[in-house]
Amino acid sequence: MIILGIETSCDETSAAVVEDGIKVHSNIVASQQALHSRFGGVVPEIACRSHTDTIITVIDKAVTEANIKISDVDAISVANTPGLIGALLIGLTAAKTLSWILKIPLITINHLHAHIYASKIEYGDIDYPAISLVVSGGHTSLFLTQSETRHIQVGGTIDDAAGEAFDKVGKILGLGYPAGPEIDTISQKGNGKAIPFPRSYLKKDSLDFSFSGVKTAVLYHCLGQDSRDSGEKPGLKDRELADIAASFQEAVVDVLVNKTIFAVTKFSVKSIILGGGVACNSRLRQKLTDAAKQRDIPLYYPSKKLCMDNAAMVAGLAYHKYGEKEVAGFEVEAIP
């Protein structure tokens, strides 16, 4: 079964052709980073205009690269939640239109569940139940995953998402947007123990996350106690910058790893799945790999292209939803 996937939840316009949930024939991603970088974050209005401009070209490319005709597609899938409302609507409208013209089923997908599915594309079989940690620019969520399509949320962020914290700390440090990859690289030259930034665990046994405290701690460390994020740059030497970046990253990674392992024990699962843009982080991959090995539990995370927002994960998961007869009607809405 050939499924065309569409993903426009944030600042990437993506379309992919995937066969039987696993064989990726094409996965086109048009990034808008260059448009948003000078604003230090995603500007929803700019994101929507760019999705509108590029969506048809991206779908065309996905079909051409897969070496098929649009009439060969058996179903259309699209991420309709969560994300920026205007951005989601553009992908959803394109998907509904194609589904209507081609008279083929429409399958709507939760973007976070698709991030979890990305590992399945790479590894094939995964033993369930699993604990899935989805860490992206907009979300930090823990799920108890029972199958490709069944996910119970057991934890989430109460303020900033992990990726958002990386991006905001990058702004404080005078780095570009998105700052996650740069902080990752700079940290490799720094000492993660140099500054004891706070680790917030919230209430005892809580599986929720909070990263606004560590972000503020970095701001105060750089510009002085009770300073405000006024855009002033701290003027750090390379060594100081590397130590601050590494110490911040260590604080975030410690919390992510410890809470994931706590959830693994609490729910006695068979695997750990990691997904989302922050799953590209080398320190997170390393520490979670070590923690999983110690407990003799398999850890799955996809390659970088499948960690970041992409439509292959959407089209892949749609195959399983279709198998469970979960097809959407044209009244289906985008949910931010």
Q: Does 82 bind ligand KG4 (CB under 6 A)?
A: no
Could you give the strand order of the β-sheet that contains 299-300, starting from the edge strand earlier in sequence? 151-156, 140-145, 130-135, 271-275, 299-300
Q: Does 308 bind ligand KG4 (CB under 6 A)?
A: yes
Least Å distance between CB 329 and ligand KG4?
26
Nearer Cβ to ligand KG4 (105/192) = 192
Q: Does 12 bind Zn ion (CB under 5 A)?
A: no
Applying CB under 5 A, the span of 51-59, 63-71, 156-164, 307-315 interacting with Zn ion comes to 307-315
Residues 99-138 within binding reach of Zn ion (CB under 5 A): 136
Applying CB under 5 A, the span of 204-212, 242-250, 258-266, 309-317 interacting with Zn ion comes to 309-317
Residues 138-157 within binding reach of ligand KG4 (CB under 6 A): 138
Nearer Cβ to ligand KG4 (15/179) = 179
Q: Does 309 bind Zn ion (CB under 5 A)?
A: yes
Within 8 A by CB and 6+ apart from 51, the residues are 8, 13, 87, 90, 91
- Which position has the token pair 């503020």? 216
Least Å distance between CB 135 and ligand KG4?
8
Among 132, 136, 145, 210, binds ligand KG4 (CB under 6 A): 136
Binding residue count for ligand KG4, defined by CB under 6 A: 19
The 10 Å Cβ neighbour count of residue 224 is: 9
Nearer Cβ to ligand KG4 (137/192) = 137
- Which position has the token pair 């702004």? 171
Instruction: Specify which residues 76 forms β-bridges with.
Output: 4, 106
Rounded Cα–Cα distance for residues 162 and 215 (Å): 10
Q: Which two tokens stand for residue 207?
A: 């599986």
Give the sign of the dihedral formed by CA 232, CA 235, CA 241, CA 247.
negative
Give the x/- contact pattern for ligand KG4 in 163-182, rule: CB under 6 A.
x--xx----------xxxx-
Rounded Cα–Cα distance for residues 221 and 205 (Å): 29
Q: From the list ligand KG4, Zn ion, none, which binds 280 (C-beta under 5 to 8 Å, kind-based)? A: ligand KG4
Q: Does 41 bind ligand KG4 (CB under 6 A)?
A: no
Q: From the list Zn ion, ligand KG4, none, which binds 155 (C-beta under 5 to 8 Å, kind-based)? A: none
Q: How far is CA 8 from the centre of its chain?
A: 13
Among 75, 104, 273, 278, binds ligand KG4 (CB under 6 A): 278
- Which DSSP category does 95 fall into? H
Q: Does 184 bind ligand KG4 (CB under 6 A)?
A: yes
Question: What are 95-103's contacts with CB under 8 Å, separation 24+?
Answer: 95/6, 96/330, 96/332, 98/4, 98/59, 98/70, 98/73, 99/75, 99/330, 100/330, 102/70, 102/71, 102/73, 102/76
What are the C-alpha distances in Å from 135 to residues 70, 142, 150? Answer: 33, 9, 18
Residues 247-276 within binding reach of ligand KG4 (CB under 6 A): 276
Q: From the list ligand KG4, Zn ion, none, which binds 180 (C-beta under 5 to 8 Å, kind-based)? A: ligand KG4
Q: How far is CA 152 from the centre of its chain?
A: 17
Please report, as ranges, the residues that interact with ligand KG4 according to CB under 6 A: 10, 136-138, 163, 166-167, 178-181, 184, 276-278, 280-281, 308-309
Catalog residues that contact Zn ion under the rule CB under 5 A: 136, 309
